[in-house]
Amino acid sequence: MKAGRFIGRKLRAEENARGSTIGVISVALSIAVIIIAVTVVAGFRKEIKTKASGFMGEVALVQPGQSVMNDKYPFTKNITYLEELENQSFVDKTRPVAYTAGLLKTDENIYAVYLKGIDSLYDAAFFKSVLAEGVMPDYSGRISNDVVISTTMADAMGYGIGSDVTAYFISDEVKVRKFNVCGIYDAQLENIDKTLLLADIRHVQRINGWEPEQVSTIEVSLTPGTPIDYGFKQVEEFVFEHGSENDPGLFTTSIKRIFPNLFDWLTLLDFNVVIVLILMVIVAGFNMMSTLLIILFEKMSTIGLLKALGMDNKGVSEIFRHVSLNIVGKGLIIGNVFALILCLVQKYFKVISLNPDNYFVKYVPIDINFVYILLADILSLVVIMTILRVTSVFIARVSPDKTMRAA
């Protein structure tokens, strides 16, 4: 066993007995704050991405120059490469939809909406997950008058389950349709909740004067875990390479372009987490340095004796690095345990609530990713131990003859 490691263990045992409480608490609190910040931001990212992609898929195929809610220039959904696109590893499924703009009217109120027409094969798992009341409509049989509205629409217009909805559609002529509310969803995405109503795609096609095969958009859902930017690029290249003369010339867009405000907000959150991480690690590092300097002052005579016996500065520094590593290690363990307990409590009991108008969710979301937590621990350990190397300057200036004479 090396002398430095042996002496370091002895000093560690002594410090354990006396307790280096300030250093351990400082590291524990800093690590806890970092882990909580990382899990909360990951939670926001997961929740908002799930909601945005649930409404419209991560990628959409649209007419050139048109939005995903285009109700003027349809294209046929019978695209030659669509089945092959669905078989790609980065694609989960494709969903043709049709949109039209309309007005909901009661005796007291008028409300502007977009009807999103879906068919019986549409994967409505997301809408089922955010359904506040009622049931999802069944569009597998005859054309249905059942619709799903948002809680925002229901509150504004006084609708409930079973309410009759009168809608007006204005183009070359005014068309009037009556629907029945079978479900009310609450997704907490204000811009969408205010305007989006689910209806039978056949209704929307008839209102727009389209053929049964004509749609506004084809939504593309990526396989779980596929990054949006990567999936968008792959879909774009696939469409470009496989489109034929018989296919409509479609452009691709992603939800990052459809909802730029949401993803800009997430980018700002990421930036804030980086700032928090840097500040917390620096604070923990300098608090640890203060703790170690106190230990060094207390062990001044020991340092002088070791130097007098022939140990160089590097060897003495190694001893105190062992002491430091012990304190930092304790802080890391305590901080991780404390943070994970708080995160699990929030995840399962939703103790801290939020205003969904500002944060798009009703409570602080938590996504515990142990890879991110491990990376945060390693980064924190490396930075703190690097900062502690400054103490080697102090050790180098300790004079054996002065410390031995003082002792």
143 in helix, strand or coil? coil
Check whether residue 391 and residue 269 sit in a common domain: yes
Check whether residue 72 and residue 138 sit in a common domain: yes
Establish if 256 belongs to a structural domain.
no
Check whether residue 7 and residue 152 sit in a common domain: no
Establish if 254 belongs to a structural domain.
no
Beta strands at 146-150 and 174-185: parallel, antiparallel or unpaired: parallel
313-349 and 300-308 helices, crossing angle to 10°? 140
Structural domain span for residue 397: 3-51+262-406
Q: Which of 16-25, 69-78, 305-314, 375-384 is modeled with the greatest confidence?
A: 69-78
Provide the pLDDT for residue 89: 95
Provide the pLDDT for residue 383: 85
Please report which confidence band the pLDDT of residue 100 belongs to, taking 50, 70 and 90 as the band edges: very high
Check whether residue 135 and residue 244 sit in a common domain: yes
User: Which of these three, 249, 276, 304, is where a domain ends?
Assistant: 249
Task: Answer yes or no: is pLDDT of 76 > 70.
Answer: yes
- H-assigned helices in 350-390: 356-359, 370-387
Count other Cβ atoms within 10 Å, centred on residue 286. Answer: 15
Considering its fold, how many domains does the chain have in total? 2
Check whether residue 199 and residue 268 sit in a common domain: no
pLDDT (mean) for 17-43? 83
Check whether residue 74 and residue 213 sit in a common domain: yes
pLDDT (mean) for 134-147? 95
Establish if 327 belongs to a structural domain.
yes
Please report which confidence band the pLDDT of residue 404 belongs to, taking 50, 70 and 90 as the band edges: low
Check whether residue 359 and residue 239 sit in a common domain: no
Distance CA 343, CA 367 (A): 9
Please report which confidence band the pLDDT of residue 325 belongs to, taking 50, 70 and 90 as the band edges: confident
Task: Answer yes or no: is pLDDT of 27 > 90.
Answer: no
User: Which of these three, 249, 281, 309, is where a domain ends?
Assistant: 249
Establish if 350 belongs to a structural domain.
yes
Least confident of 44-53, 201-210, 342-351: 44-53
User: Which of these three, 196, 220, 249, is where a domain ends?
Assistant: 249
Establish if 326 belongs to a structural domain.
yes
Closest by CA position to 210, among listed 63, 105, 57: 63
Check whether residue 395 and residue 296 sit in a common domain: yes
pTM given for the model:
0.80
**E-state strands within 71-170:** 75-76, 91-105, 110-118, 131-134, 146-150, 164-170
Check whether residue 193 and residue 236 sit in a common domain: yes
Q: Which residues pair with 76 in a beta bridge?
A: 214
Rounded percentage of the chain residues whose pLDDT exceeds 90: 55
Closest by CA position to 45, among listed 309, 290, 342, 269: 269
Establish if 356 belongs to a structural domain.
yes
Check whether residue 269 and residue 401 sit in a common domain: yes
345 in helix, strand or coil? helix
Rounded percentage of the chain residues whose pLDDT exceeds 70: 88
Residue type, 25: I
Enclosing H/E stretch for 132: strand 131-134
Check whether residue 362 and residue 306 sit in a common domain: yes
Residue type, 7: I
Question: How distant is the alpha carbon of residue 61 from its chain centre?
Answer: 24
Establish if 255 belongs to a structural domain.
no
Task: Answer yes or no: is pLDDT of 1 > 50.
Answer: no
Please report which confidence band the pLDDT of residue 393 belongs to, taking 50, 70 and 90 as the band edges: low
Contact 74, 216 (CB under 8 A): yes
Task: Answer yes or no: is pLDDT of 45 > 60.
Answer: yes
Contact 109, 157 (CB under 8 A): yes
Check whether residue 237 and residue 126 sit in a common domain: yes
Establish if 381 belongs to a structural domain.
yes
